[in-house]
Amino acid sequence: MAAVSNGGRYFVRFRWKAFSSRGKNLTTSTQSSPQSSTQYCTNLVRNLDYENFLCVLLLPKGSRRSVFAVRAFNIEVARVQDAVSDPNIGRMRLQFWRDSLDNIYQGNPPQQPVALELAETTSKHKLTKRWFSRIIDGREKSIDNRPYDTTDSLEEHGENTVSSVLYLILECLGVKDVQADHAASHLGKAIGVVTLLRATPFHGSRGKVYIPSDVMIKHGVSQEDIIRGRTTQAVKDVTYDLASLAHSHLSTAKSLMSKAPKVASRVFLPMVSCQAYLTKIQQADFNMFHSTLRERNHLLPLQLLKHAWTGL
């Protein structure tokens, strides 16, 4: 599944005056700077990962450029799967990013805007290379467009791709804390499951199914049921199991966050949209194809502001 963390292309595209002005000011400031790579990364996140774009705007000002670089890297790697029809070509593109990482950490980044920004970011914050490598490895494992074998493999994918991004953002904010890392691990897994659920109607309409096979077999659901968008009780049971798994990880993340440093709380703002989706799918009686799940969440900016100031 090639969706960027928190839904990728499925993110709602809405505007809210306060956030729009902040995003505009941020872009304007980069236009007058020689660092055009900064503007590239900012625009990439705003255009393809808008929910996380809003979250980044609520991080401390001094860390935003670095976090945009990390988020942009994640997008570049995640969209490889959608950009190619041949998995081997996809692997070649992912190898480009592996080689780029080696060069970045050797002080010789390629002349590519995301790579240039990452070079600045890794140097400034001493980011752990392993987390970047895990993101690439996680995406390569799903490059063949096959369903996950088990829910464990789905959770592993969330850990490798989403949690690794959160670990890097924590490092950008100078947070080194075991509780924060554990919270990021569980939140990443929750977001990974929710991303799968959010993306399933889109992928199903294109003949692709990524729902773990063990859950499908448990409830006697076929890939054809998903592709045709059937709303049988069995399909709802599959959705319920996955939503429950995400909710469990989300609850654990919340309990761990209370023990983490306060500065880390805004790193976990993606939790807001994750929780909002789980609430909506419960209200839709776990029908993942329900039309309300495709509606824009116009309240998300307000919800993010509220949680940013009062805590999650």
- Return averaged pLDDT per consecutive 10 residues of the chain, 312 residues in all: 43 37 44 68 96 97 97 97 89 96 96 96 97 97 93 98 98 96 98 97 95 98 97 98 98 95 95 97 97 91 91 70
Return the structure tokens found at 146: 């096959």
Whole-number pLDDT of residue 21: 45
* Angle (CA) 241 242 243, round 5°: 95
pLDDT (tens digit, 9 = 90+) per residue, 117-175? 999 999 999 999 999 999 999 999 999 889 999 999 999 999 999 999 999 999 999 99
Whole-number pLDDT of residue 15: 34
Whole-number pLDDT of residue 298: 87
Q: What pTM did the predictor assign?
A: 0.88
Whole-number pLDDT of residue 312: 64
